[in-house]
Amino acid sequence: MKCYASPVALLTLFLTFFASAQDSYTDLSNKYLTLDIEESIISSTTNSGNHTTLIAALKAAGMHNALAFDGPFTVFAPSDKALNALFSNTGTDLFKAENKSDLQALLRYHIIAGKFSASKILRELCRGQGKATFMTVQGEVLTATIDGIDIVLTDSYGNSAKIITADSDQCNGIIHEIDSVILPKTVNFLP
């Protein structure tokens, strides 16, 4: 007489192996999250190491405390590469005290009041038939559109920036990394 393993026993063994493999994968992926939801926008951005120029600009403008405690805010955080390119092309040292108001205007143009995840921005785009506008804390309008699968922000000069990393959820808002700097009309340092 031959002995065959019952299909139920084999299924149980397979599911146990599969479930334990999934637990290991889930634990491994959590190690690589760079932004911690329990942190504020400013502390999480500081700890990520991806926005050192933005952090320096926020400190020079005296705005880092607002993003540490207040909120909720949505921050469109330009990458270090984007900010460094802008700062090197303007010919103006925006970190000097006499340029503080221009630096503040620039940074406030990248912040909107409220917590707007990418899905919430997309809902606004659907309501607006592919176009949505947001009032920045600086006081000017920022326009969002969709290009393929990308959310694109357009400033008052027609310059655009794509959201390249979306939905870094923080305790006092949300961060979206963008690939370019968007400019308000009120800045006086453009070449």
Do the domain assignments include residue 105?
yes
Domain of 134, CATH number, reads 2.30.180.10
Query: Which of 5-9, 16-20, 99-103, 106-110 shows the highest mean pLDDT?
Result: 106-110
Outline where 61-184 has alpha helix (H).
Answer: 66-69, 80-90, 100-108, 118-127
Least confident of 1-10, 35-44, 119-128, 165-174: 1-10
Q: Is 60 a residue whose pLDDT tops 50?
A: yes
On whether the pTM is more than 0.85, the answer is: no
Average predicted confidence (pLDDT) for the chain: 79
Mean pLDDT throughout 172-190?
85
The pLDDT value recorded for residue 130 is 93
Number of domains observed in the structure of the chain: 1
Residue 104: which residues within 8 A CB-CB, separation 6 or more?
61, 62, 63
- Asked, for residue 53, whether it belongs to a domain, the answer is yes
- The answer to whether residue 20 is domain-embedded is no
Residue 175 burial class via C-beta count within 10 angstroms: exposed 0-12, middle 13-18, buried 19 and up: buried
In a domain, 56, yes or no: yes
Does residue 94 surpass a pLDDT of 70? yes
Q: Given this model, what pLDDT does residue 191 score? A: 52
